């Protein structure tokens, strides 16, 4: 009888320990998400310090504690035209402590070459910050006052006009080739190492046309060195300096491309973590001070939530895949690799 009582007591004690252990396990798992974030969040930038993406990341950094509860630690990982950084983000633990800045190049690279990850499926978008339309500019001493003037000249002088782009297969290259195709004119593309070099060669008279970001073109338009003829977006830019510059579509040409900046995380974030990040970035990006700081950089805020950003990735992937084939850019890149 005594032995039986001991067995019952032992069983009860074991049950208490098991239940207590289970409760303790549940207790540990809840704070892990409810307290997120409880340490700084790393934000990886795929380009060097001073690049447009880096400057935007620094603006986010200013209010991260206010909206996320922890500071953003900016780490620049240039290399591989962005792939070094995106590989690191895609391969990181999906716990919300490693995020990355992405741009249109993230979609373009897998179209041109084999990459470690297919980034649109290996990464998870959190929010779009900005969508930047390319601006087509010419030297102010050229006679062309509109796209129509330039197209007429190009048709009368086939092969005489050159356009600068930031690199072979870049968004500025795609925009230029799409413009030539839509206008049915013959333009020679000249690749350079970035937008600044493209601008310098335009000012030097080595090329007649350049496709630049608004922030890069802005000061030279103000000084009267260059003239903007068109904006390669679906709508005009809100900046007063560009407000009177029509889009290509307004001028009868179906050309619309933008360089978007989207915050991303590794795939399979816990839903509680994702919700905290998307909510925090939503409030941060729509803060009037954030918008003012972005405008000071010559950039406009075009916020999209996670769902709309995901749809944009899908649509942009399809659109750009079709465009690089139809314009012959994909064939040029393949031939160069051979």
Cα 213 to Cα 231: distance, rounded to the nearest angstrom: 10
Point out the domain boundary residue: 236, 256, 276: 256
Point out the domain boundary residue: 256, 277, 299: 256
**Is 153 part of a structural domain of the chain?**
yes
**Is 126 part of a structural domain of the chain?**
yes
Cα 159 to Cα 143: distance, rounded to the nearest angstrom: 18
Q: Please tell me whether residues 45 and 119 are part of one structural domain.
A: yes
Under 8 Å CB-to-CB from 173, ≥6 apart: which residues? 165, 166, 167, 189, 191, 329
CATH number at residue 166: 3.40.190.10
For the chain, the C-alpha Rg in angstroms (whole number) is 26
Q: In which domain, by residue range, is 221 found?
A: 145-256
How many structural domains is the chain composed of?
2
Q: Please tell me whether residues 245 and 268 are part of one structural domain.
A: no
Q: Please tell me whether residues 227 and 278 are part of one structural domain.
A: no
Handedness of CA 105, 111, 114, 119 (dihedral sign): positive
In the numeric block, the tokens 């540990």 are attached to 28
Cα 332 to Cα 329: distance, rounded to the nearest angstrom: 5
Backbone angles phi, psi at 215, to 5 degrees: -65, -35
SS3 state at 246: coil
For 55, the token pair is 């400057």
Q: Please tell me whether residues 115 and 160 are part of one structural domain.
A: no
Backbone angles phi, psi at 135, to 5 degrees: -120, 130
Under 8 Å CB-to-CB from 13, ≥6 apart: which residues? none
Cα 24 to Cα 57: distance, rounded to the nearest angstrom: 39
pLDDT at residue 212, rounded to an integer: 92
Q: Please tell me whether residues 66 and 120 are part of one structural domain.
A: yes
Q: 257-296 burial string, b = 16+ CB within 10 Å, else e? A: bbbbbbbbbbeebeeebbebbbebbbebbebeebbebbee
Cα 288 to Cα 305: distance, rounded to the nearest angstrom: 18
Q: Please tell me whether residues 120 and 155 are part of one structural domain.
A: no
Cα 186 to Cα 180: distance, rounded to the nearest angstrom: 6
CATH number at residue 123: 3.40.190.150
Could you give the maximum distance between any two Cα atoms of the chain, in Å? 112
Give per-residue pLDDT as tens, 187-242: 999 998 888 899 999 999 999 999 998 888 989 999 999 999 999 999 999 888 99
Q: Please tell me whether residues 119 and 103 are part of one structural domain.
A: yes
Give the strand pairing for 162-165 and 226-231: unpaired
pTM: 0.81
Q: Please tell me whether residues 173 and 214 are part of one structural domain.
A: yes
pLDDT at residue 34, rounded to an integer: 60
pLDDT at residue 196, rounded to an integer: 87
pLDDT at residue 238, rounded to an integer: 87
Backbone angles phi, psi at 237, to 5 degrees: -80, 145
Cα 337 to Cα 31: distance, rounded to the nearest angstrom: 52
Residue 79 falls in which region: left (phi positive, over 0), alpha (psi -120 to 50) or beta: left
Tally of residues, the chain:
338
SS3 state at 153: helix
Cα 86 to Cα 115: distance, rounded to the nearest angstrom: 10
Q: Please tell me whether residues 248 and 296 are part of one structural domain.
A: no
Q: 53-73 burial string, b = 16+ CB within 10 Å, else e? A: bbbbbbbbeebbeebbeeebe
**Is 165 part of a structural domain of the chain?**
yes
- E runs forming strands in 160-224: 162-165, 188-191, 209-212
Residues of the chain with pLDDT under 70: 1-34
Q: Please tell me whether residues 111 and 161 are part of one structural domain.
A: no
């Amino acid at each position: 009888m005594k032995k039986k009582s001991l067995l019952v007591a032992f069983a009860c004690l074991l049950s208490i320990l098991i239940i207590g252990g289970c409760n303790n396990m549940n207790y540990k798992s809840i704070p892990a998400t409810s307290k997120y974030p409880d340490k700084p969040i790393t934000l990886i930038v795929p380009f060097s310090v001073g690049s447009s993406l880096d400057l935007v990341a620094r603006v986010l950094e200013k209010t991260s504690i206010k909206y996320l509860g922890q500071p953003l630690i900016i780490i620049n990982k240039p290399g591989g035209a962005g792939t070094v950084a995106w590989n690191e983000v895609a391969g990181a633990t999906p716990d919300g402590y490693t995020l990355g800045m992405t741009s249109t190049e993230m979609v373009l690279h897998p179209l041109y070459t084999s990459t470690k990850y297919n980034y649109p499926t290996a990464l998870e978008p959190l929010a779009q910050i900005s969508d930047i339309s390319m601006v087509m500019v010419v030297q102010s001493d050229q006679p062309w006052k509109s796209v129509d003037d330039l197209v007429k000249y190009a048709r009368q002088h086939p092969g005489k006009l050159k356009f600068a782009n930031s690199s072979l297969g870049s968004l500025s290259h795609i925009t230029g080739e799409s413009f030539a195709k839509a206008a049915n004119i013959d333009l020679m593309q000249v690749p350079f190492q970035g937008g600044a070099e493209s601008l310098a060669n335009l000012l030097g008279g080595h090329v007649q046309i350049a496709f630049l970001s608004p922030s890069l073109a802005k000061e030279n338009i103000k000084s009267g060195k260059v003239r903007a003829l068109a904006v390669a977006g679906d709508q005009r830019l809100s900046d007063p300096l560009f407000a009177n510059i029509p889009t290509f579509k307004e001028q009868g040409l179906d050309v619309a491309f933008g360089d978007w900046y989207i915050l991303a995380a590794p795939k399979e974030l816990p839903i509680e973590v994702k919700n905290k990040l998307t909510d925090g970035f939503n409030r941060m990006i729509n803060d009037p001070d954030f918008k003012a700081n972005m405008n000071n950089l010559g950039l406009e805020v075009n916020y999209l939530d996670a769902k709309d950003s995901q749809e944009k990735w899908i649509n942009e992937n399809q659109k750009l895949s079709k465009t690089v084939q139809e314009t012959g850019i994909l064939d040029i890149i393949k031939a160069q690799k051979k």
